[in-house]
Amino acid sequence: MAATLFSKCNLLSAKELTGLLSLKNLGFNLAEIRVSPVSSYRGRLLSSVALPEESRVLCILRRGEAPILGCENTFLREGDTLVVLTKDEETVRRL
């Protein structure tokens, strides 16, 4: 039954979902960090990436794969998108 429910849902892009899930009333926002070809994060463990205090990576999105959860020991690849819950969205976006 769950598969039937989900197959009838309209899927949102990550950008639309980010805007939809603003958690400002709690002081948090969702932000995305894209690992570019020239990113210093490419090839590094997620646990080695310095995020602002009170920020957490919720998952890593990779094309063609299921979201990666509990990802501290995951090596970052070009094209990865980190979905981050943060109180400091501006600093996260500059990473």
**pLDDT per residue over 34-60, tens digit each?**
899 998 889 999 999 888 888 889 899
What's residue 9's pLDDT? 40
Q: What is the rounded CA–CA span in Å between residue 32 and residue 18?
A: 8
What's residue 74's pLDDT? 92
Q: Which residue has the higher pLDDT, 26 or 8?
A: 26
Tokens of 45: 């463990």
The DSSP H or E segment spanning 15 is helix 14-20
Q: What is the pTM of this model?
A: 0.69
Among 46, 58, 64, which residue's Cα sits nearest to residue 85? 58
21 CB neighbour count, 10 Å cutoff: 13
Mean per-residue pLDDT over the chain, rounded: 76
Residue 95 scores a pLDDT above 70: no
